[in-house]
Amino acid sequence: MPAGLFGADHTQALWPLIHRRFAGQEVLTDCILEFVNDETAFLGTHMKATLKNHYGPSIPESQRILVRPKKADGKMWRKGTFPEGVFVTFPE
């Protein structure tokens, strides 16, 4: 993706699209990735970076995602990673 198209930080361009689509919902990363691949010009790596940038106590609540400690397969989620099967809750 050329830097001039979306700027150097893809996450700033992708976040509003993801947030608008999933606001107030809990969804699996699989569903987010499908949206990103099918309805945006971004890639899975951009999605993962965007989610990572919107997780954690230093992020304002209105922009912060929440993540369940267990993935869909019952295994524990590794903080800072967003593989398939992770439950993500988006702010309103």
Quote the pTM value.
0.88
- 8: pLDDT strictly greater than 80: no
More confident residue, 8 or 54: 54
3-state SS string over the chain? CCHHHHCCCHHHHHHHHHHHHHCCCEEEHHHHHHHHHHHCCCCHHHHHHHHHHCECCCCCHHHCEEECCECCCCCECCCCCCCCCCEEECCC
Report the percentage of the chain scoring pLDDT > 90: 87
Report the percentage of the chain scoring pLDDT > 70: 91
pLDDT tier at 88, thresholds 50, 70, 90: very high
